[in-house]
Chains A and B, each alone.
Chain A
């Protein structure tokens, strides 16, 4: 199906475990993003990527790793999960236009770290 898909939709893990959240888009957008959403903080940018093999840190990158070997995929890895990483994670993609980037969001992954 066309669009942007995230998997899994829900994930429960334990502290110290590695977990990878997947994001796939079919639009061939050059930009992809990872945000986390927490009560009281709104959305905070973790990492973004302007193209394959190009990634940049956002506001809260510590504890996360990303890669972008293919344009359509942008996985987010928590190398050693902590309780503070319990959150809802949103992936988004965009293609630059005159005026700016308009983001298209996935449905989110709800992650619980016990």
Chain B
């Protein structure tokens, strides 16, 4: 079964708006990661947040982690058409190497 589940499954916004995606997971984790996948391509790592961190920033990305609720959110500020992609969260709860991905959120940013 999936460890992480993203929400919503799909999100459509206008350029310049903020996009928020959520990830919920089931068991305790060591860290949580977010990846982006453009259509027809491999995944690209965006950001990693450790279990003892609550918030992390990278450029226009802001990730939060709430271990008490077993959830994380990814915020993309001032979105651009180039941000159109699918976004996945991944956790390594069981052991290092056993990195499990969610089903992803498909983001569409309209110019």
Give the complex CA separation of A40 and B2 in angstroms.
11
Question: Residue A79 at the B interface, CB < 8 A?
Answer: no
Q: How large is the interface on A (under 10, 10 to 19, 20 to 34, 35 or more residues)?
A: 20 to 34
* Per-position binary interface string of chain A over residues 24-60, scored 1 when its CB falls under 8 Å from any chain B CB and 0 otherwise: 0000000101010000111111001010000010110
Task: Name the interface residues of B25-73: CB closer than 8 Å to any CB of A.
Answer: 30-31, 33, 35, 40-45, 48, 50
Check A100 against B41 for contact (C-beta < 8 Å). Answer: no
**Residues on the B chain within 8 Å of A100, using CB:** 30-31, 33, 48, 50, 92, 96
Our pick among B40, B41, B97, B102 for the contact of A42 (Cβ within 8 Å) is: B102
Our pick among A40, A56, A90, A105 for the contact of B98 (Cβ within 8 Å) is: A56
Question: Residue B80 at the A interface, CB < 8 A?
Answer: no
Give the complex CA separation of A41 and B1 in angstroms.
10
Given contacts A99-B31, A100-B48, contact A33 B99 (CB under 8 A): yes
Question: Residue A101 at the B interface, CB < 8 A?
Answer: yes
**Residues on the B chain within 8 Å of A99, using CB:** 31, 48, 50
Given contacts A42-B103, A100-B50, contact A48 B43 (CB under 8 A): no
Closest to B32 in A: A100
Closest to B6 in A: A42
**Residues on the A chain within 8 Å of B50, using CB:** 99-100
Check B98 against A42 for contact (C-beta < 8 Å). Answer: no
CB distance from B41 to the nearest CB of A (A): 6
Task: Name the interface residues of B71-111: CB closer than 8 Å to any CB of A.
Answer: 88, 90, 92, 96-104
Given contacts A42-B2, A100-B48, A108-B42, contact A48 B103 (CB under 8 A): no
Give the complex CA separation of A106 and B60 in angstroms.
25
B contacts, CB < 8 Å to A: 2, 30-31, 33, 35, 40-45, 48, 50, 88, 90, 92, 96-104
